Amino acid sequence: MEESLLDASEAYAISLDEKAELTKFRDEFYLQKDHYYMDGNSLGLLSKRAEETLLNSLEDWKRFGIDGWLGGKQPWFSLSEKMAGMLAPLVGAKEEEVMATGSITVNIHQLIATFYKPEGKRKKILADELTFPSDIYALQSQLRLKNLDPVEDLIRVKSRDGRTLNEEDIIAAMTDEVAIIFLPSVLYRSGQLLDMELLTHKAQKRGIIIGFDLAHSIGLMPHELHDWGVDFAVWCNYKYLNGGPGSVGGLFVHEKQLGILPEPGLAGWFGSKKEKQFDMEHVLTPAATAGAFQIGTPHILSLAPILGSLEIFQEAGIENIRRKSLSLTRYMMELIDFELRDLGFSITNPMDDRFRGGHVSLEHLEAARICKALKENKVTPDFRAPNVIRLAPIALYTSYHDIWKTVQILKTIMIEEQYKKFSNEREVVA
């Protein structure tokens, strides 16, 4: 840990809030009184602006019917493109390289179907053994569609400790049998941040296409996808970006790829050039931008809240958000180390700011039942099997005092053994 906690008092937590950045944005969100929400890395909270932009689209539907596609406050026909322009700065991209579309898994299928071109012995997909299961399911599915073996032809880089990945091991696996690489930017359990720039450089030096799943980094930290030369990326907008449950996802395709692709792997009418879309021809004329990777009609009511949320990110600044997030997680780790040292917890996320995402990963043998006890005490954590409690203080709406209260509640639960009345099994939705 970079520094030890000098003051574990409640007064100190309050004093940190008095001089903290971004505190004005806390009032933008719907927070429950005396409730401590630490699960913004799974689902961000609703903001008043996201609510407003959703209501705007409902009002457009109410007033204009089908004419809402071109009229009203938020014309639907160009809403995805408008969103792309707001998302692009968050991933360090040109506007034409980004599109708000699909879901994260649909976008994985779209971009793997587009870029995965097995040929000769170069036919394997390189991933890792710690990545989110949905990503692996999609990669296995794409291999089956190519009549390849989802076990033999999917390389999953091993973890040395069961929690993190070593970039040297990933680079060593970049052999001349690998056709494409797909990795997370931040590991969903441990919160480890991978060096995307380094991995991209090493992959492309070997002539391998590389893409990233940004689910746990978008809206949390700056990216430079264009300058790093990343070939493609996907993400969801409902975690740190607070777009709402099941909100439309996003994708990035580097301009160097846009110029050479004949058409997307999975074609649909919303991937057309906008001016050609309603010609109703049976020959697709793909958009020259990342818009080509859209498939079907945009889910307007799942897009609209993201618009309001992104306005907040424009005002707050992603560099400021990252700085505050690192400060919050560092404070939480120091407080946990001070208060819970002898209660069976292990902090397993990276301590170094350079390698840490946005959540604190706590391991405990009784993790599932501890999470249930936290919920009973009005703290919302996140459980990940087999024994991980994830706690995510969010820069835009979590206070230092929220963290202090959360840790005190956790300490009381452990000392009083409140968790013992629950089973040590996850709920259906963990």
DSSP H/E element including 322: helix 318-339
Whole-angstrom Cα distance, residue 112 to residue 124? Answer: 12
CB atoms < 10 A from the CB of 259, how many? 8
Q: Is 12 annotated as a binding residue?
A: no
- C-alpha pair distances (Å), 199 with each of 57, 123, 167, 175: 41, 19, 7, 13
Amino acid at 66: I
Q: If DSSP codes are grouped into helix, strand and coil, which group holds residue 197?
A: helix
Sign of the CA dihedral 361, 364, 366, 370?
A: negative
Running DSSP on this structure, what letter comes out for residue 229? T
Q: What are phi and psi of 242, to 5 degrees?
A: 60, 40
Q: Is 9 annotated as a binding residue?
A: no
Task: Please name the residue that has the structure tokens 């996320």.
Answer: 349
Q: What's the residue count for the chain?
A: 430
Q: Is 404 annotated as a binding residue?
A: no
Answer for the pair 353, 324: CB distance below 8 angstroms, yes or no.
no
Whole-angstrom Cα distance, residue 94 to residue 84? Answer: 9
Whole-angstrom Cα distance, residue 28 to residue 50? Answer: 10
Q: Is 231 annotated as a binding residue?
A: no
Q: Is 104 annotated as a binding residue?
A: yes
Q: Which two tokens stand for residue 145?
A: 């569609």
Q: Which two tokens stand for residue 375?
A: 């919920």
Q: Is 132 annotated as a binding residue?
A: yes
Q: Is 133 annotated as a binding residue?
A: yes
Residue 67, phi-psi category: left (phi > 0), alpha (psi -120 to 50), beta (remainder): alpha
Answer for the pair 386, 364: CB distance below 8 angstroms, yes or no.
no
Q: How far is CA 246 from the centre of its chain?
A: 13
Q: Is 345 annotated as a binding residue?
A: no
Q: Is 137 annotated as a binding residue?
A: no
The annotation places the binding site at: 104-105, 132-135, 213, 216, 238, 269, 297
Binding site for pyridoxal 5'-phosphate: residue ranges? Answer: 104-105, 132-135, 213, 216, 238, 269, 297
